[in-house]
Structure 1
Amino acid sequence: MTAPVLVARHEGVLVVTINRPEARNAVDGATSRAVAAAVDALDADDDLRVGILTGAGGTFCAGMDLKAWMKGDKPFIPGRGFAGVTMAPPRKPLIAAVEGWALAGGFELMLACDLAVAAASSRFGVPEVKRGLVAGGGAAMLLPRRIPQAVALELLLTGDLFTADRAAALGLVNRVTPDGEALKGALELAAVIAANGPLAVAATKRIAQEQADWTLGEGWDRQEELYRPVFDSEDAREGAAAFAEKRPPVWRGR
């Protein structure tokens, strides 16, 4: 039986590939559990700095496997959400590498990632309303926080598809690559991030994610709670020493 998710390591980067091309990488229960396990492995391994989520066969993810869902096989994990990641993304940066379709839950998977690289002909959309469903995997709640509300409502209420160029113009995609090169582009972006201090990267991501729930008054104290241990770490001292000695830093993650 073919594994629903493939995992590969590339110099500190964990590439997680949804491997159901015959179903356009639609997510069932087994796929959700496998993605969740891969995300846990990313956070647990100090040698891994960044994760990439992609799909096999030229498609990122077509969303929930409706055939499996109708049989009672649901792709949601309690406390973790769709595909085991939309409610509980990893502590380390996660990049979506999108080829082909990122629809419905697939689009919500991309939203759960911190960054996105998309091929020029890729297409995005949240067509749940066209099927009498609600984008409950995160799009209805998160999209209005990422882009202007009127634009978010247009995408959510029409369910229409949109292009990689529009996704980039809206700030949903960081880089657009030629077709077939989204993973290559994601690996290049991941390599830049992986070269930085892992403690600093994790703390910076957490501050950026959590700041929306802080008042301005409490934000200064809350962020200091997160960054102070980084300033006191061995890695901070190594970063300063490497700069002074004009050499690449050797990060220890402590």
Structure 2
Amino acid sequence: MNAASDTPTVHTEERDGIFVITIDRPVARNAINAATAHALAAAVDELDARDDLVIGILTGAGGVFSAGMDLKAFATGETPVIPGRGFAGITRARIKTPLIAAVEGYALGGGTEMALACDMIVAARDATFGQTEVHYGIVAPEGGMVRLPERIPRNIALELLLTGDPLPAERAERLGLVNHLTEPGAALTGALELAGRVARNAPLAIAAVKRVVSERTAFRDEDALREQDQIVAPVLASQDAREGARAFAEKRAPHWQGH
């Protein structure tokens, strides 16, 4: 194993009951490979296991939240999806502790799906969301197609999912996807302020609110995801999906074959 592969890709920090989880692959725009997915799963497990942690924040280093799946790793057969836990180890996990996404720069593809897996989103005004998967011959199976139409109007969600067009943070806030906007570079500060307002309340009450609200939708989401998986499995296994990843890695336009 080389030195680069030994370098941690996720860092954590504790601040008065707040657990900050930072994706740290700025050279890859914090794209998620298998190692990063397992590191994120471990960080979320620690958040849930510790009674002294009241709320978590998920963010990215280097001014970027996450560009989503590491398509170069995907092209070699690697997957950032953990069975039972989903993309990055969090999109299908039942996280007991409230979690805020602090978004700077891009949150694209799986990056948007990670943000959707969080309970609240704080974003810089110049941040950008987007379910860009269709550009690469795949779809958004880790919450994008299920959660996005529940968080913003269905017709707008469909437009974003079908076109892969970007969603600027200021529009996302108007649509209700983003809780609070901050100036560029201040998303984590804004998320810490929001987390602090949560953390000063009674821990048992916070846990109860998160559980009731989450369980209200958890089973519906799980059913929808199971039905979805049967539909999208052939898409993800298609030659077009491999071609999309190869085209991205080779910096060229893809050549779709429809199979």
Place the TM-score, normalised by the shorter chain, in its bin.
Answer: 0.7 to 0.9
The unaligned stretches of length 5 or more in structure 2 are 1-5, 221-259
Cα deviations across residues 97-121 of structure 1 (Å, max 9, x unaligned)? Answer: 0000000000000000000100011
- Aligned partner of residue 17 in structure 1, secondary structure: strand
Cα deviations across residues 58-106 of structure 1 (Å, max 9, x unaligned)? Answer: 0000000011111122000000000000001420100000000000000
Cα deviations across residues 111-156 of structure 1 (Å, max 9, x unaligned)? Answer: 0000010001101100111111110111011111222211110111
Which residues of 2 match residues 51-200 of structure 1 at below 5 A?
51-200=56-205
Q: Which residue of 1 aligns with 2:240?
A: none
Q: Which residue of 2 aligns with 1:252?
A: none
Contact 1:89–1:113 (8 Å) recurs in 2: no
Cα separation, partners in 2 of 1:70 and 1:210, compared to 1, 3 Å: same
Amino acid at match of 2:169: A
Paired-residue identity, %: 58
Q: CA deviation at 1:209?
A: 2.1
Q: CA deviation at 1:19?
A: 0.3
- Aligned partner of residue 95 in structure 2, secondary structure: coil
- Aligned partner of residue 69 in structure 2, secondary structure: coil
The structure whose Rg is larger is 1
RMSD: 1.4
Cα separation, partners in 2 of 1:54 and 1:212, compared to 1, 3 Å: closer
Cα deviations across residues 179-216 of structure 1 (Å, max 9, x unaligned)? Answer: 0000000000001111111121111112112224799x
Question: Aligned partners of 2:154, 2:128: CA distance in 1, in Å?
Answer: 21
1:33 paired to 2:38? yes
Greater relative contact order (CA < 8 Å, ≥ 6 in sequence): 2
Cα separation, partners in 2 of 1:182 and 1:129, compared to 1, 3 Å: same
Question: Aligned partners of 1:131, 1:180: CA distance in 2, in Å?
Answer: 30
Question: Aligned partners of 2:114, 2:217: CA distance in 1, in Å?
Answer: 20
Q: Which TM-score applies when normalising by structure 1?
A: 0.82
- Aligned partner of residue 58 in structure 2, secondary structure: strand
Contact 1:97–1:118 (8 Å) recurs in 2: yes
Q: Which residue of 1 aligns with 2:52?
A: 47
Q: Which residue of 2 aligns with 1:238?
A: none
Question: In the comparison of the two structures, how many residue pairs are matched?
Answer: 215
Cα deviations across residues 2-29 of structure 1 (Å, max 9, x unaligned)? Answer: 2110111111111000000000000000
Q: Which residue of 1 aligns with 2:25?
A: 20
Q: Which TM-score applies when normalising by structure 2?
A: 0.81
Question: Aligned partners of 2:7, 2:123: CA distance in 1, in Å?
Answer: 26
Q: Which residue of 1 aligns with 2:207?
A: 202
